[in-house]
Structure 1
Amino acid sequence: MVSNKNGGGNLAEIKDVELKYVLSDLKAPFKTALREISVIESIYVFVHTDDGLVGVGEAVPTPVITGDTVEGIVAAIKLMSKKLMGQTLSPLLLQVIQQSLVGNSSAKAALDMAIYDLLAKEKEVPLYVYLNSTYSSLETSHTVSLNQVETMVSDAKQYIEMGFKALKVKLGNDITLDQSRILSIHQTVPNALLSIDANQGWNEDETKMMIAFLKDKNIHIDVLEQPVFRKEYDAMHRLNKQSDIPIMADESLFDPYDAKRLSQQGIHFFNIKLMKSGGIFPGLWIAKIALENGGKCMVGSMMETHVSLTAAYHFACAIGAYKVDFDAPFMLKEKRIAGGIQYDMNQVYLENKDAYGLGIDVMKLKELCADAKSL
């Protein structure tokens, strides 16, 4: 039962939903086989209850991955908010969000985070506790953005010198050049734990060429992430069967139905991103499917800020993620959000592990959004 903090014992209800559009500059452009960006566009969501609680969430547009644009996210959140308004705060709202419309995973994720934030705050516990988990610091990898060979080598060396042990190397636009990139990085930082993310950039034959090249050069790769187009399930299956390197699904994996299909195809390494799954609620089902089939889950992210990455942190604790990729804040020119996740180089932890809900300082976030565009 949800209690009314103002006394009276009435059930708390959703009273208002605010949206703010905030831009966060990157230190340098972030490049993959799919896109290049120099700024993070965040739609911050503030969900208010009638007893004074505020839950926060974040959505970011990634049109080439989720199909979500700023305009689409805003329209979807407004539509779903109408269904939430006046409703009693309860876990049932998480289902209302998912059933309100098809697709629109980023918008769903933002509201899902905010409702989870409220539910944990109502119980006066951190979100990881609400999710029946325990607290632990996590170790993140750092992404080496797609670039010229010399630049990628320099970046990889810098990240290792900073204290990172694991690097995710972005490839996927030219197989011959990609081979030079990964070989040069391996030769420069031979003790780094490397993974490759091709972002759908290769076809099946090119992927086979890369796998053979890695074996010939004795380059150990932890996982090979989404080498081919997201709908090429049969190719993913064949590659996984033939390769000593686990094939990880990213863009092929959005919802629990994708998870079931991939598991049936023998793909058991999943990269769960809240912007793809539609939030924590469906993400938990995806993780359950993976773990029941002997799989492993990584929790990744798009280019996001501390709000949604804090939600991803709590989620990662809840599912026992074997690795996380939470490096986007390192690419920001400045940190402007208080509370939530913090960094000690590659170690990710909560600023206050006892803070209720996500642990984001809502007042500070509102100050950041004071001059931001209301949507």
Structure 2
Amino acid sequence: MSAASGFKTLTENFTVKVRKAENRELNVPLLSPFTIASSRLDSVGNVAIRIELSGGCVGWGEAPILPSVTAEDQLTAMVKSREACELLRELPEMKLGHVLEEIGGILPGHRFASVRAGVEMAMIDAAAKSVGVPLWKLFGGASNTITTDITIPIVSPAEASYLAAKYREEGFKTLKLKVGKNLKADIEVLQAIREVHPTCSFILDANEGYKTEEAVEVLQKLHEMKVTPVLFEQPVHRDNWEGLRHVTRVAKDRFGVSVAADESCRDLTDLKRIIKDDVVDVVNIKLAKSGVLEALVVIELARSSGIELMIGGMVETRLAMGFSGHLAAGIGCFRFIDLDTPLLLAGDPVQGGYKALGAVYEFTDEGGHGGYLH
């Protein structure tokens, strides 16, 4: 079964009528500030969407807000998701696929991609619950578990050392390290982590922070330390296509390291350019960058073009991470899984959805993705 065949059948054949649709702010403090090269977040200020169908089944979605990455702020996301909820309540009974088209019409392009993703999630979740099928089965049924990495944001070497030791105890084998603000500090942090977690795999994520030559220098310094990251994510600015291509060539030929596009691969148009110009080896799929429907198209095209896949998130609760996790488990073709952000939150407002056993997430056989807000 192809990744989306069960999902395609559902969209083409299942008829829905929305009884209730509402949105609310989803504010959760973080355990500590989440600092990346392009921004700093002290708490999550997202938007939750709840949709109830005429049969009584309820679906949940989440529109994440990450300054400098998502186009929407929380206020815009609240306004646009309210508009979408109004539209859904007014629609006559129709096929799920047509409802999703209507959502795409009112929330077009990158400008409203995060809200579109949240509303699509809630709609698909409610429909999957109605037919009693868990999302991981709907998206292909490859597996009902995933293993995630965990992120260390930009912190001091001492703090990085503490976190790495803690995550080692908890069973995390892959650490994703935020870099890109200060080359010297980045190297010091890497050394500190290596001392306490010598066997871990590293993903470096620069969030567009380096200049082309700095990105190459990082790889050279790591090589001298006998450290080979498994992935180097978005080393340079999203519009620096030539730089990204150059870093990919050097990383692969000289150091055997794969390079991923994240901010440079926001939608299908970006992916087509990446394929045409042979820019990177890996693309990071995030539902909030393109919405759920377009993400499925991006995944299929990347796979058929020989580009490897990573799945990630903005800074989301288990509502959005649960949906993304179901999708990744069901499709089963993601080499890199970075769905750790619920573990960085100071509280968890979400019930159900999945069990987190250290780095392993196990998804239930309930219909939909099973997560809901108390």
- Normalised by the length of structure 1, the TM-score is 0.89
2:328 is aligned, of 316, 320, 323, to 316
Residue 22 of structure 1: SS of its match in structure 2?
Answer: strand
Q: CA deviation at 1:249?
A: 0.7
Moved more, 235-244 or 318-327: 318-327
Distance of 1:11 and 1:140 partners within structure 2: 35
Match of 1:42 in 2: 46
1:86 is aligned, of 72, 91, 101, to 91
1:269-348 paired onto structure 2 within 5 Å: 269-278=282-291, 280-320=292-332, 321-348=334-361
Residue 212 of structure 1: SS of its match in structure 2?
Answer: helix
Distance of 1:189 and 1:299 partners within structure 2: 24
1:256 is aligned, of 268, 271, 279, to 268
- 1:283/1:199 CA distance change after superposition, 3 Å: same
Distance of 1:12 and 1:204 partners within structure 2: 50
Check conservation: 1:14, 1:89, Cα contact below 8 A.
no
Check conservation: 2:140, 2:331, Cα contact below 8 A.
no
1:23-34 paired onto structure 2 within 5 Å: 23-34=27-38
Q: CA deviation at 1:79?
A: 3.1
Q: CA deviation at 1:272?
A: 0.9
Match of 1:7 in 2: none
Check conservation: 1:12, 1:50, Cα contact below 8 A.
yes
Match of 2:6 in 1: none
Gapped regions of structure 1 (runs ≥ 5): 3-9, 369-375
1:182 is aligned, of 158, 175, 190, to 190
Matched, 1:96 2:102: yes
Match of 2:4 in 1: none
- 1:182/1:264 CA distance change after superposition, 3 Å: farther
- 1:318/1:286 CA distance change after superposition, 3 Å: farther
Moved segments of 4+, more than 4 Å: none
Q: CA deviation at 1:47?
A: 1.4
1:359 is aligned, of 351, 363, 370, to 370
Matched, 1:123 2:127: no
Residue 186 of structure 1: SS of its match in structure 2?
Answer: helix
1:235 is aligned, of 221, 240, 243, to 243
Q: CA deviation at 1:77?
A: 1.7
Check conservation: 1:149, 1:181, Cα contact below 8 A.
yes
Match of 2:226 in 1: 218
> In the alignment, residue 367 of structure 2 is paired with which amino acid?
Y
Check conservation: 2:203, 2:231, Cα contact below 8 A.
yes
Matched, 1:171 2:171: no
Q: CA deviation at 1:31?
A: 1.3
Distance of 2:182 and 2:142 partners within structure 1: 43
Check conservation: 2:55, 2:130, Cα contact below 8 A.
no
1:83-162 paired onto structure 2 within 5 Å: 83-84=87-88, 85-87=90-92, 88-100=94-106, 101-102=108-109, 103-162=111-170
Check conservation: 2:39, 2:67, Cα contact below 8 A.
no
Match of 1:19 in 2: 23
Q: CA deviation at 1:11?
A: 5.0
Distance of 2:98 and 2:243 partners within structure 1: 38
- Normalised by the length of structure 2, the TM-score is 0.89
- 1:47/1:213 CA distance change after superposition, 3 Å: same
Residue 160 of structure 1: SS of its match in structure 2?
Answer: helix
Distance of 1:138 and 1:22 partners within structure 2: 25
Give a deviation string over 1:301-359, Cα, whole Å, max 9, x none.
11110111111011112332122112112222233321102211111112xx2101111
Residue 370 of structure 2: SS of its match in structure 1?
Answer: coil
Residue 81 of structure 2: SS of its match in structure 1?
Answer: helix
- 1:90/1:11 CA distance change after superposition, 3 Å: closer
Which structure is higher in helix share?
A: 2
Check conservation: 2:142, 2:331, Cα contact below 8 A.
no
Q: CA deviation at 1:240?
A: 0.6
Q: CA deviation at 1:99?
A: 3.2
> In the alignment, residue 75 of structure 1 is paired with which amino acid?
V
- 1:74/1:89 CA distance change after superposition, 3 Å: farther
Check conservation: 1:268, 1:290, Cα contact below 8 A.
no
